[in-house]
Amino acid sequence: MKHIFLNLKRFDIPKELGGVNTIAPIGQWGSYIVEHTQEQLKKYNGDEVEFAMYFPEAHLIPAVSALCEDSPVKVGCQGVYRDDTAVGGNFGAFTTNRTANAVKAMGCVTTIIGHCEERRDKAGILAEAGVSDTAAVNRLLNKEIQAAVKAGLSVLYCIGETSEEQERWQEVLREQLETGLAGVDREKITIAYEPVWAIGPGKVPPDKEYITKIGSFVKEVTGGMDVVYGGGLKTDNAEMLASVPVMDGGLIALTRFSGEIGYYPEEYLEIIRTYMGK
């Protein structure tokens, strides 16, 4: 099966506050995105491709409420806490932390964990505490994955190497995979490879050969788990990525990178048409 993931990050912030949102008022942003994509996505065979969208927390309930009957859209959140509520246990003393049971109750069915931005944040906090153990971030992410799967959520688990780590990419990715996936049900998990060293303005993205090498490595280490390209599925690389046999889809974020940059539903649908070939 192919997987098309959409990470909407903080694209809900209006331009006058430094964001990129121009598509809808803040209160309607989540529902607008679902309503302007789900009918068009119905033309694709649900047994051949899945569509998951990861929303900032404030928009989860409006997004779920906008789902039509037989909607192909799976609404997801952007990460979960490493602990959770339990019958007869902690009833919810998790101020500021988003638990898997909380988002499950909102209607989420999936979550993204380990995105390079989350990894960078956790590494920064650990560094402030004087922790230099590089596996510590992966252990924390493993707890998040376990909490998500226990709550019944599927997981998009992101891995990737920075420019400083690129020479030893095999070691870095293997640690992220083996530690992050330790003791979890892999049937509920898809891997996203983010070439962190290539993300950002002026950076040169990896070519087909490099992406194929990484996809093959991930499948070898994980025993054949599905892996998608997380460096940004775009109109200009969709055909190339679709031609890489070891890649099972892609992660979309921004759809427009110049002018009125941001996420636009019609451009999201065009990326999918290009990738799927219809």
pLDDT in tens, 85-123: 999 999 999 999 999 999 999 999 999 999 999 999 999
**Total-model pTM:** 0.97
User: Is 128 a known active-site residue?
Assistant: no
- Catalytic residue (one of 3, 50, 59, 115): 115
Host domain of residue 247: 2-276
DSSP 8-state secondary structure symbol assigned to residue 260: S
Domain count, the chain: 1
Burial class from Cβ neighbours inside 10 Å (0-12, 13-18, 19+) for residue 256 reads middle
Q: According to the model, what pLDDT value does residue 211 have?
A: 98
Record the tokens describing residue 115, joined without a space: 């995105």
Over residues 23-46, mean pLDDT:
97
Q: According to the model, what pLDDT value does residue 134 have?
A: 83
3-state secondary structure of 52: strand
Record the tokens describing residue 201, joined without a space: 């303005």
DSSP 8-state secondary structure symbol assigned to residue 187: G
CA neighbours within 13 Å on the CB side: how many for 275? Answer: 31
Interhelix angle 116-128/135-150, nearest 10 degrees: 120
CA angle 149, 80, 111 (to 5 degrees): 60
Residue 40's pLDDT band, with cuts at 50, 70 and 90, is: very high
pLDDT above 90 covers a percentage of the chain that reads 96
Matching residue, tokens 């992220």: 176
pLDDT in tens, 216-274: 999 999 999 999 999 999 999 999 999 999 999 999 999 999 999 999 999 999 999 99
CATH of the domain at 156: 3.20.20.70
Mean pLDDT of the residues in the chain: 97
User: Is 194 a known active-site residue?
Assistant: yes
